[in-house]
Amino acid sequence: MTEERNSTTITKFILLGFSEFPKLAIFLFSIFLGIYLLTVSWNMSLITLIRMDSHLHTPMYFFLSNLSFLDICYVSTIAPKMLSDFFKKHKFISFMGCSMQYFFFSSLGLTECCLLATMAYDRYAAICDPLLYRAIMSPTLCRQMVAGSCITGFLGSFIQLCALLQLPFCGPNVINHFFCDLPQLLILSCSDTFFFQVMTSVLTVIFGLTSVLVIMISYGYIIATILKITSAEGRAKAFNTCASHLTAVILFFGSGIFVYIYPNAGDSLSQNKLASVLYTVIIPMLNPVIYSLRNKEIKDALNRWKKRIFSWLPFISFGWVFNVFMVTDY
């Protein structure tokens, strides 16, 4: 019995990706490659700007730089494999490779849930208790909160990974998705996954609902505080400091809820795949834009560095010309 089971154990999966659109392969590849390059460049630019400009050395931008780094890692667990599969006839991925892709994807996703909740608390402290904000959000506490988010996220995903590795896969081995996601893997398992689903539901409650609850409570206090501000200008400024974070929260949690709550059968598979593109590829690209679009401090920092760069250009140009004439041997 054991030998027969081992002989039918699946060692690799086939990722269908976007194979239902063969005529659009080059177009989709170009779009996703452009999105991936923009995601990495925009997030890296935001991290660099925050690190280099002393005016942005505040708790809010410390969390934002960590969110940008997280988004780069997050999209990099999905995009390279997805892009390489566009022109492969056989889109194979090993069982261990599939498991590790889901592990890192899940770890970074859970970490982002915790980090978004942490950023909501930061906005609560800044608006509801501005006089003690610096004392409350000390550099040590900020680092501890980011480290706690990472440890918690990876621990939650590690528990799932250990359970996933215990599941037998005897066939079929075709995953109708562009990456190894949990719902599709559970469908392919040839054993009862009830315990795994219960454990996943518990982790979803712990991470998802707890994060949402922290965010909702924080914004409940924030809204109550903003409504007490007498001047319209003061209220608008306070709302603007929260609008970007709230937009990112709605996009991230909204698309995630659609994928993992909406029925995973029939025509909804294509809808889930599109929703997965939103929260795995599009949102990491949009986050730096969302946080920079209406952010005066980011715009001021960009203007300061533009002036510095343009003031250095004559010296850089002169130095380059000098080096060319000195080094070139006629």
Reported as a single tens digit per residue, the pLDDT across 198-245 is: 887 788 778 888 898 999 999 999 999 988 888 877 788 778 778 888
Q: Burial-class residue 326 by CB neighbours within 10 Å (0-12, 13-18, 19+).
A: exposed
pLDDT value at position 118?
Answer: 95
Quote the CA–CA distance of 161 and 144 in Å, as a whole number: 25
Q: Is the pLDDT of residue 1 over 70?
A: no
Q: Is the pLDDT of residue 133 over 60?
A: yes
Quote the CA–CA distance of 305 and 198 in Å, as a whole number: 52
- DSSP helix, strand, coil percent of the chain (3-state; round to 5): 80, 5, 20
Reported as a pLDDT band with limits 50, 70 and 90, residue 265 is: very low
pLDDT value at position 253?
Answer: 86
- Single-letter amino acid, residue 231: S
Strand order of the β-sheet with 92-94 is: 92-94, 12-15, 174-175
- Single-letter amino acid, residue 25: A
Reported as a single tens digit per residue, the pLDDT across 87-103 is: 887 889 999 999 999 99
| Number of neighbouring beta carbons within 10 Å of residue 38 | 15
Residues 6 or more apart in contact with residue 210 via CB below 8 angstroms: 117
Q: Is the pLDDT of residue 119 over 90?
A: yes
Average pLDDT score over the chain: 83
Reported as a single tens digit per residue, the pLDDT across 43-83 is: 999 999 999 988 889 999 999 999 999 999 999 999 999 99
Reported as a pLDDT band with limits 50, 70 and 90, residue 270 is: low
Quote the CA–CA distance of 297 and 237 in Å, as a whole number: 12
Domains in the chain: ranges and CATH: 10-307 (1.20.1070.10)
pLDDT value at position 140?
Answer: 94
Quote the CA–CA distance of 312 and 291 in Å, as a whole number: 28
